[in-house]
Homo-oligomer: A and B are copies of this chain.
Amino acid sequence: MAGPRDEIEALIALMSRLPGLGPRSARRAVLHMLTRREGLMAPLARAMGEVAAHARECSVCGNIGTAEICEICADPRRATGEICVVESVADLWAMERGQAFKGRYHVLGGTLSALDSIGPEELGIPKLIDRTGAEGVTEVILALNATIEGQTTAHYIAEALEAQEINVSTLAQGVPIGGELDYLDDGTIGAALRARRKF
């Protein structure tokens, strides 16, 4: 359709680029907003525009916030001497939701990949090694995804940190809380068995 509908069609096309929304659900979301222009659509557009304008990567850890230094790096209570290395900001947020880690982070922004020419420089690994010295870090926790790429990157970082007197650890593998054995893959069951502990 030509004419005035173009603006709306362009919005649907942009919305459908969001994860979890296809062309159909993007259309449905836009229609929903169109009938709530004052209550939802205008505030959402404003909030999104403001975040797009203000959001930035923390210059220390790579977390996304609205300041030069993110609130975690700016918080002196989080200078626990521990750095948790994660692949993405999504993983950092997931760790924070877990509320178990009290230290600081280092966001790699990906994993090592010869094919995509992503080397240690692109992931800020030299910067991580500088930080361990400068911030008096005693432990680096590798919270990378349990994929081949994640584990390859973890091994690389562990080796790079070998020269320094730092404990390098990784997340435990095992049965998830609430998980049913019947639905778990064989690899996870094997890992949980090997890492079994006294009851």
Contacts and interface: CB of A to CB of B under 8 A. Distances in A.
Contacts of A70: 4
A170 interface: no
A161 interface: no
* A interface SS class: helix
A29 B20 contact: yes
A46 B49 contact: yes
A44 B50 CA distance: 12
A47 interface: yes
Contact of A71 (B1, B19, B46, B89): B1
Nearest to A38: B52
A90 B25 CA distance: 12
A51 B17 contact: no
Contacts of A31: 88-90, 93
A52 B48 contact: no
Given A19-B32, A28-B20, A47 B11 contact: yes
A34 interface: yes
Interface string A23-38: 0010111111111010
A14 B43 contact: yes
**8 tightest CB-CB pairs across the interface, nearest first?**
A45-B49, A45-B48, A4-B66, A41-B52, A42-B52, A18-B29, A11-B47, A20-B25
17 contacts: A3-B71, A4-B70, A7-B51, A8-B51, A8-B64, A14-B44, A17-B40, A19-B25, A19-B29, A19-B32, A20-B28, A28-B90, A31-B88, A31-B90, A35-B89, A45-B49, A49-B49
